[in-house]
Chain A
Amino acid sequence: MNRPRTFEAPGIAPLLILLAVAIMAVLIVLPLATVFIEAFRKGLPGFRQALVDPDAISAMKLTLKVAAISVPLNAVFGLAAAWAITRFEFVGKSALLALIDLPFSISPVVSGLVWVLLFGAQGWFGEWLADHDVQIIFTTTGLVLATILVTLPFVARELIPLMQEQGADEEAAAITLGAGGLTTFFAITLPNVKWALLYGVLLCNARAMGEFGAVSVVSGHIRGETNTLPLHIEVLYNDYNFVGAFAVATLLAGLGLVTLLLKTALEVRYAGELSATRKH
């Protein structure tokens, strides 16, 4: 094998690899292991008890509900935004692009706070909403709004580079062949981006279920009602119920691992059909 000649002190490569592994172990493997070890500190019964606690079950249900509402909405929004941005020329396109990225660059706490400022009791529309007996803050609606805002970019960011790369020729060809708008969308546009869409949805879902900052602001922390899993973990932890906190945390960690697995599987299997930035 012909290796390019570079400066190479003997033993430096193994040393670097060892260092990388050590850092990985301390920063990633150790904390993850701690979660599972702490969760089982009182054995399986303790673990089980933390998970069947009514508040924990309610938090699980709420987390699933919030994700089930916000992820599909963001998938639709992401598709629509990517389609508009990659298929049309319009004034304010770069502004829209920047706006889509905004949730990535502002603190999630701010993403939550804006809803309080808009719909909270002292907010702009607070009085009007109270008059009409509508409550948004401290309800599932508020959690969904905060989650949507935080996870807004995931799907769009995944689709835009891919759809830009693919161009509009296939859609144009379908239309000249006599296909209508809906047929073109379902027969051409969607199949061409389906794996990238799934990839974006996966990332979006992981973030939606794990989001803490934004939902913490709008939730009000009502046990059994507006606590999602991450918030429930915080409550348990603050109650010095460490086993409970870590047991519930294993659920989120498990979700993260499953997402990672699926994501890697998608990357390996469909590298060509994911956007250029994800190719290996």
Chain B
Amino acid sequence: MSLRIDNVAKAFGRFPALGGVSLDVAEGEFLALLGPSGSGKTTLLRILAGLEQPDSGSVFFQGEDFLALSARERRVGMVFQHYALFRHMTVAQNIAFGLKVRPRRERPNRNVIDARVADLLRLVQLEGLEKRYPAQLSGGQRQRVALARALAIEPRVLLLDEPFGALDAKVRRELRKWLREVHDKTGVTTIFVTHDQEEALDLADRVAILKDGLLIQTGAPQVVYEHPATPFVFDFLGDACCLRGEVKDGRIHIDAWSGDAPAGSPEGEVEVWFRSNELSLEPPTGEGIPASVQSVSPKGATLHLRARVGDQDMDLEIPGGVAPGWLKQKGSLRLKPRHVSVFAPVAVDPK
């Protein structure tokens, strides 16, 4: 194990930001810390960077006590959501900063620094912009400079705090792909924080999901997506719908529909979770959960369908964007989930 985080807790005043998080990160791994805002993911990242001290717990990096080292001694590369580029320095000066501030004995000479800056500019595809100031760059370019600056010190771990959070959707997707390429080229252990489940699932080798300062589940993106540990995880990973049902002898029953329950499902009253993109629309005579159409409208590549099951309205986004010919406004249909997760119902608070 390269990085071992053990039972790290941190509170800000009376607000508990992290409530004992343990996590191992392998050498060269690309890990996403995923969670809603306030889940403690940025706090954990800042603790790893040395910008915050935890109240308790330990962090070891290759057997070395990380918490005993100051932020400047850790040699951790940090990329901030709002870039945090030095506004009065050029792109080249920004990238060279980490090398120039080294103590005289360890400082590379000018030529080495210049060569390294040129290498990094090539890596982040910003050749020719070395004399620009941050204010003269686009958001995507700034974040690439920030990454080059972090990589310049040959970090032992690269930490990214919502690196694409301030960028628009198209640039974000481009940079995402490009970040993965940079990681594969440099092989540096990388941890990035995001609240965007699509980004985490798309980019990471492994996803760690946090909620209210606690680690809920870790696993490969596919595993987490297909086998969420809790309804929260299922819901957070997107397009989730939930219906009440019953499991009896390994079969799920919802209204007139029944299907095989996944292995390990609880018996009795349950919550059945499924994703609207894993749902087949069947005609009223077909197989599935009976539902009535409240409204239906194609929106680009997806079909927005508001359907009522029992007394519950569900907003479904069906991929494909084309409604089947038999589907009528105010008509009825059947919904057939291809994949479900079953959880014991959350105890209802009597209040």
Contacts and interface: CB of A to CB of B under 8 A. Distances in A.
B75 A173 contact: no
A192 B153 contact: no
Interface in B149-170: 149-150, 152-153
B88 A192 contact: yes
A177 interface: yes
Contacts of B87: 170, 192
A177 B51 contact: no
A211 B149 CA distance: 48
Contacts of B86: 170, 173-174, 187-188
Interface string A159-193: 00000000101101111111110010001100110
B50 to A, nearest CB: 7
Contacts of B74: 176
Contact of A176 (B77, B82, B102): B77
Contact of B84 (A172, A178, A179): A172
B152 to A, nearest CB: 8
Given A172-B51, A174-B97, A175-B51, A180 B80 contact: no
A177 B78 CA distance: 8
A158 B77 CA distance: 33
Contacts, number: 65
A178 B80 contact: no
Contacts of A176: 49-51, 71-72, 74, 76-78, 150
A132 to B, nearest CB: 44
Interface residues of A, number: 17
Contacts of A175: 50-51, 71-72
Contacts of B98: 177-178
Given A170-B87, A172-B51, A187-B101, A180 B82 contact: no
B29 to A, nearest CB: 20
Q: Chain A at the B interface: mostly helix, strand, loop or mixed?
A: helix
B231 to A, nearest CB: 35
A172 B78 contact: yes
A187 B149 CA distance: 16
A169 B80 contact: yes
A172 B74 CA distance: 13
Interface range, B side = 20 to 34
Contacts of B77: 176
Contacts of A169: 80, 82, 84
A175 B153 CA distance: 12
Given A174-B86, A174-B97, A192-B88, A179 B72 contact: yes
Interface in A185-204: 187-188, 191-192
A178 B153 CA distance: 8
A187 B51 CA distance: 19
A176 to B, nearest CB: 4
Contacts of B84: 169-170, 172-173
Nearest to B73: A178
Given A170-B87, A174-B86, A191-B88, A179 B101 contact: yes
Interface in B27-58: 49-51
Contacts of B50: 175-176
Contact of B80 (A172, A183, A191, A192): A172
Contacts of A188: 86
B24 to A, nearest CB: 22
A191 B149 CA distance: 19
A187 B101 CA distance: 10
Nearest to B152: A177
A174 B87 CA distance: 12
Interface of B: 49-51, 71-72, 74-78, 80, 82, 84-88, 97-98, 101-102, 146, 149-150, 152-153
Given A174-B86, A179-B101, 5 more contacts: A169-B82, A176-B150, A179-B97, A187-B97, A191-B88
6 contacts: A172-B78, A172-B84, A174-B101, A175-B71, A176-B74, A178-B75
